[in-house]
Amino acid sequence: MRFSLGSLTQNWMLKLAALALAVLLWVVVSAEEVTTQWITVPIRLAARDSAYTVVAGPSPREVEVRFSGPGRELWELALTRPVLLLSIGEVERESQSYALGPGMVRVPAGVSAVTVLDVRPASAWVRFRRTEGGR
């Protein structure tokens, strides 16, 4: 059996179309497969204690969040950049550590089939200063 360049180039347009169709099918199927991915997410503060102002923080400013879901939605999530909302009610000390968890991550409304699994690091530091006229 001899190999010739002619047999490889014969019907080249049909072969190229078959290859393109195979790649397209692979992309569509892999986009629906459920997988996990770590995405860097910024921390946004929501401090409600009027007796204190935020001096520094949060530290770190970003965390790694592990998401699970279809590949197509994880791609969209990486582009829309969700945030971790650190809501601070009453300040107890001028330098304070807060626990971070999956329930604090705000996923955009268009991304519905994604689950937040983990956050690391699991805490963040915030420094405050008492405001004038504060308690």
Q: Please list, residue by residue across 3-40, b when 16 or more beta carbons sit within 10 angstroms of its beta carbon and e when fewer do.
A: eeeeeeeeeeeeeeeeeeeeeeeeeeeeeeeeeebebe
Mind listing the domains of the chain with CATH numbers? 33-130 (2.170.120.30)
Q: What is the pLDDT of residues 60-119, one digit of tens each?
A: 999 999 999 998 889 889 888 899 999 999 999 999 999 999 999 999 988 888 999 999
Predicted pLDDT of residue 111: 86
Reported pTM: 0.74
d(CA 26, CA 39) in angstroms, rounded, equals: 24
